[in-house]
Amino acid sequence: MVQLASDTWYLFNKYMRITLRMPMWALFTIVQPLIWLLIFGQLFKNMASMPGFPQGRYMDFFLPGAVIMTVLFGTSWSGVSLLREINYGTVEKMLVTPVSRVSIVMSRVIHSAVTVIIQCIIILIVALIFGASVAGFKGALLSLIVVFLLSIGFSGISNGLAIWLKREEPLVVIGNMMTLPLMFLSSAMVPKSFMPEWIQVITKINPIDYAVETTRAFYSGGVSSETVFTGFVFLFLFASVSVSWATEMFVNQSE
């Protein structure tokens, strides 16, 4: 366990140094969520006056969706870098060292999650500058736990798919297929009461919806609500299963 933690920390620092050398790549992934936040906040602002819509402005309603969208764009392709290191022989060189096999995957997953947390903080600051409102600092801070768990989950899926597919093209295609459909099949953009019944059923198994609802509860001040508890449990299970699958895939492939 000590070796796993030590190896994970060492590799995590290595990937963070690489990211810091190319900060524009990390910033590039937040451009689209920012555009959506600003454009949708204006385009659909009159929707907030419709009967049945939650009280407040549309930008405040959509802000949690924009934050979670950042998670999707930041993690859905995280397996590409692992795949490239596998193809370039870097991972093969690691495997002849005493480094823990699990740490090779865990360090990448945690690196993706920490990077996304920084991106989400930037999104939140920009949104506040443009007039969005959050009930309190505590809720905004706790929402980063939601971001972390969701990032771990989708980064685990992406890395597991990279190991399974062994090709970059299908991984990118699947990454694209995971983003927008999952967003539209959640309450990120419209309340559940506005959705068809079949989409409301899908939201019950959609981790994006749980993340959006939990983040929205935090932003509105509902720190101890049932929505928060349910969301945390679902997202923790989602992250645990995803990372377990990714590490098992990697360990089996490296034997």
| CA distance linking residue 65 with residue 213, whole number of Å | 9
Q: How far apart are CA 26 and CA 219, in angstroms?
A: 25
Per-residue model confidence as pLDDT tens digits over 11-68: 888 888 877 777 666 666 677 777 777 777 777 777 777 887 887 788 888 889 889 9
Q: Which of 151, 162, 153, 140 is nearest to 216 (CA)?
A: 140
**196 phi and psi, to 5 degrees?**
-60, 155
**Average pLDDT rounded to a whole number, residues 208-236:** 87
In tens, the pLDDT along 101-157 reads: 888 888 889 988 998 898 888 888 888 887 777 877 788 888 999 999 999 999 999
Measured in residues, the chain has a length of 255
Quick one: pLDDT band at residue 241, thresholds 50, 70, 90?
Answer: very high
Q: Is the pLDDT of residue 4 over 90?
A: no
Task: Write the pLDDT tens digit of every residue in 227-237.
Answer: 888 999 999 99
Residues 216 and 223: their CA atoms lie apart, in Å, by 10
- Domain residue spans of the chain: 2-254
Residue 23 has a pLDDT of: 65
- Residue 225 pLDDT greater than 80, yes or no: no
Check: CB of residue 26 under 8 Å from CB of residue 115. Answer: yes
Task: Give the residue, 44 or 182, on which the prediction is more confident.
Answer: 182
Do 65 and 214 form a contact (C-beta atoms < 8 A)? no
For residues 215 and 142, give the distance between their C-alpha atoms in angstroms, rounded to a whole number: 8
CA dist 221 and 228 (Å) reads: 11
Average pLDDT of the residues of the chain: 84
Three-class secondary structure of residue 126 per DSSP: helix
| Whole-number pLDDT of residue 150 | 95
Strand runs labelled E in the chain: none
Nearest alpha carbon to residue 25 among 117, 114, 119, 122: 119
Q: What is the pLDDT of residue 254?
A: 64
Q: Residue 206: what pLDDT?
A: 93
pLDDT of amino acid 24: 66
